[in-house]
């Protein structure tokens, strides 16, 4: 009985056996296998083992019968490999031990060295047997003479095999077919001259295979996750647009003129900083509002409302309008324009002032002083914090408009605004902004007391865009707040 080794001090990638003969060297070193053995023989040496089953009952010199020697002249390149052969009356098995796991090429060397090819009695013998590799039959009713094309001729059969437990099994089995006593007794059964086992150079170790499989699985999982993120983002945008009930489309100037009756004055519904606004009706009955840009528009530079990624790089994202909304929200809360230009000096921005007040913990200083005490401080703080979230320099960190609406309506908690140290501003510049706003406020109060219809400022200060005060005027004595509450 052959026992598989529980541990191997070293592993091998090849094995060469000269079956029934002494050690010789050809394409490899074929190890000695000249010990005859008997009816029930097993031996284990080096990195291979051998097992034989069966007894030649009709031969008194049974030990000699298990190894046969050539009786004819062999005309072949490696004739030394075929001078001897091992035979068995029933079954013989070779085991390759301590082999590296992987794919192997198995070569079985056969040559019929007992029968003859003349017209004598010795030429009538027929040897037929089966061959199994790793317990799978690879040759059925194999006849050496038929395959080799005659007696004393070599035939090498090549097979692929896989080793997964460091052991390779090759079994030769006689199923009872062929002759048994020609040219003499005990010459039947399987015959093998040499065995060579070599590992394929392209064979990968289990570790490499496992690594490739793990990498492939990781890649598939990564692709699935990226696809889910993309799908979720797309669905989120679609839901946001659906929640806003937006209907978008492209219209030619001809369509617009037909809808507004060529901008008929009777369809005018208002006047904005850019020009008049007209109502119109599309061919399907849809009502629209159209703003006509006026060449006499007094609107200045609108960069204060423009998202930084678009202003600096021309990169338009779906969060650009969120940034603009944040600026408008700050204008509404403060009652001031978003940008102040000083003569021969750089501009000041309301967003920078809001960020500094946030760091100082005094955001309420941003609120329009004309509102007095008629405000809900909690709602004002929500408005300011949402505006700061919307004006984040990084577009991906800005909330969606549906989230903004939820926060303003109180259905979602406003997350804490994290200050970016790279956005710190010059204290002197911001102090100048504060003094300017105070000056404007004092002038407004003074002019209001005088019932003036316009605001006149002496000094080097100008604004570049319409302020929230101009867009959304608030009268101090208005009953708006009582009605709102």
294 pLDDT above the threshold of 70: no
Return the H-helix or E-strand segment holding 140: strand 136-142
Structure tokens at 129: 């047997």
Query: Taking the model in full, what pTM does it have?
Result: 0.43
Quick check: 294 and 276 in contact, CB under 8 A? yes
Cβ atoms within 10 Å, residue 464: 16
DSSP type of residue 79: G
In this predicted model, which residue has the larger pLDDT, 286 or 30?
30
CA-closest candidate to residue 87, choices 103, 119, 117, 111: 111
Section 443-460 average pLDDT: 54
User: What is the reported pLDDT for 430?
Assistant: 63
- What residues form DSSP beta bridges with 428? none
CA-closest candidate to residue 188, choices 88, 59, 92: 88
Cβ atoms within 10 Å, residue 260: 20
Return the H-helix or E-strand segment holding 170: strand 168-173
120 pLDDT above the threshold of 60: yes
Average pLDDT over the chain, rounded to an integer: 80
Q: Distance of CA 164 to CAs 45, 130, 265, Å? A: 21, 24, 90
What confidence tens digit (pLDDT) does each residue in 179-203 have? 887 777 777 889 999 999 999 986 5
The C-alpha atoms of residue 429 and residue 348 are separated, in whole angstroms, by 7
DSSP type of residue 429: H
Domain ranges of the chain: 14-203, 207-246, 254-299, 301-484
Section 299-323 average pLDDT: 76
Quick check: 385 and 417 in contact, CB under 8 A? yes
Least confident of 72-76, 331-335, 446-450, 473-477: 473-477
Section 150-173 average pLDDT: 94
Q: Which CATH superfamily is domain 254-299 in?
A: Phosphorylase Kinase; domain 1 (3.30.200.20)
CA-closest candidate to residue 431, choices 353, 349, 369, 338: 353
User: What is the reported pLDDT for 460?
Assistant: 45
Q: For domain 301-484, is the CATH number 3.40.50.2300?
A: no
Q: Distance of CA 121 to CAs 92, 115, 116, 118, 183, Å? A: 28, 9, 9, 8, 6
What confidence tens digit (pLDDT) does each residue in 25-59 have? 988 899 999 888 776 676 777 789 999 888 876 66
Long-range own/partner contacts, residues 350-353 (CB < 8 A, 24 or more apart): 350/304, 351/326, 351/327, 351/391, 352/423, 352/425, 352/429, 352/430, 352/433, 353/430, 353/433, 353/434, 353/437
- Please report which confidence band the pLDDT of residue 478 belongs to, taking 50, 70 and 90 as the band edges: very low
458 pLDDT above the threshold of 70: no
- Please report which confidence band the pLDDT of residue 135 belongs to, taking 50, 70 and 90 as the band edges: very high
Section 157-168 average pLDDT: 95
What confidence tens digit (pLDDT) does each residue in 393-420 have? 888 999 999 999 999 999 999 998 877 6
The C-alpha atoms of residue 390 and residue 400 are separated, in whole angstroms, by 9
Structure tokens at 239: 């839901």
Backbone phi, psi, residue 412, to 5°: -140, 140
| CATH class in words for 14-203 | mainly beta
- What residues form DSSP beta bridges with 67? 86
The C-alpha atoms of residue 397 and residue 420 are separated, in whole angstroms, by 12
Alpha carbon 273 to its chain's center: 51
DSSP-assigned letters across all residues of 351-407: HHHHHHHHHHT-GGGGS-GGGTT-S-HHHHHHHHHHHHHHT-SSGGGSPPHHHHHHH
What confidence tens digit (pLDDT) does each residue in 357-407 have? 888 888 898 898 888 888 899 999 999 999 999 999 888 999 999 999 999
Quick check: 67 and 34 in contact, CB under 8 A? yes
What confidence tens digit (pLDDT) does each residue in 202-261 have? 656 666 778 899 999 999 999 999 999 888 877 776 665 555 554 556 788 888 899 999
């Amino acid at each position: 009985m052959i026992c598989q080794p529980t541990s191997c001090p070293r592993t091998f990638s090849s094995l060469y056996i000269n079956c029934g003969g002494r050690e010789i060297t050809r394409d490899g070193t074929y190890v000695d296998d000249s010990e005859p053995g008997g009816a029930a023989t097993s031996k284990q040496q080096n990195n291979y083992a051998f097992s034989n089953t069966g007894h030649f009952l009709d031969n008194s010199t049974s030990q000699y019968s298990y190894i046969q020697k050539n009786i004819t002249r062999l005309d072949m390149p490696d004739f030394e490999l075929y001078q001897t052969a091992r035979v068995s009356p029933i079954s013989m098995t070779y085991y390759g031990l301590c082999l590296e796991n992987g794919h192997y090429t198995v070569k079985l060397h056969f040559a019929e060295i007992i029968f003859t090819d003349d017209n004598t009695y010795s030429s009538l013998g027929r040897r037929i047997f089966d061959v199994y590799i790793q317990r799978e039959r690879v040759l059925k009713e194999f006849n050496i003479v038929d395959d080799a094309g005659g007696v004393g001729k070599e035939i090498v059969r090549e097979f692929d095999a896989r080793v997964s437990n460091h052991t390779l099994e090759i079994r030769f089995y006689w199923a009872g077919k062929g002759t048994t006593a020609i040219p003499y007794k005990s010459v039947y059964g399987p015959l093998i001259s040499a065995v060579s086992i070599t590992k394929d150079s392209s064979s990968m170790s289990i570790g490499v295979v496992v690594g490739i499989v793990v990498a492939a699985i990781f890649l598939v999982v990564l692709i699935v996750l990226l696809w889910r993120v993309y799908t979720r983002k797309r669905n989120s945008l679609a839901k946001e647009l659906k929640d806003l009930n937006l209907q978008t489309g492209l219209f030619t100037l001809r369509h617009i003129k037909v809808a507004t009756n060529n901008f008929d004055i009777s369809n005018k519904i208002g006047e904005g900083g850019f020009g008049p606004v007209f109502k119109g009706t599309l061919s399907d009955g849809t009502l629209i509002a159209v703003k006509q840009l006026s060449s006499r528009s007094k609107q200045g530079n609108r960069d204060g409302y423009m998202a930084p990624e678009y202003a600096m790089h021309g990169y338009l994202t779906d969060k650009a309008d969120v940034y603009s909304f944040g600026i408008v929200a700050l204008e509404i809360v403060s009652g001031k324009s978003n940008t102040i230009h000083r003569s021969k000096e750089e501009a000041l921005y309301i967003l920078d002032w809001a960020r500094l007040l946030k760091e100082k913990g005094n955001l309420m200083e941003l609120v329009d002083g004309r509102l007095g005490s008629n405000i809900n401080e909690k709602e004002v703080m929500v408005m300011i914090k949402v505006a700061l979230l919307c004006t984040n320099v990084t577009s991906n960190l800005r909330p969606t408009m549906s989230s903004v609406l939820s926060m303003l309506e109180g259905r979602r908690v406003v997350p804490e605004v994290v200050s970016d140290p790279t956005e710190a501003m010059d204290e002197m510049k911001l102090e100048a902004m504060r003094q300017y706003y105070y000056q404007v406020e004092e002038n407004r109060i003074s002019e209001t007391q005088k019932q003036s219809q316009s605001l006149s400022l002496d000094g080097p200060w100008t604004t570049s865009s319409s302020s929230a005060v101009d867009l959304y005027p608030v009268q101090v004595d208005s009953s708006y707040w009582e009605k709102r509450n």
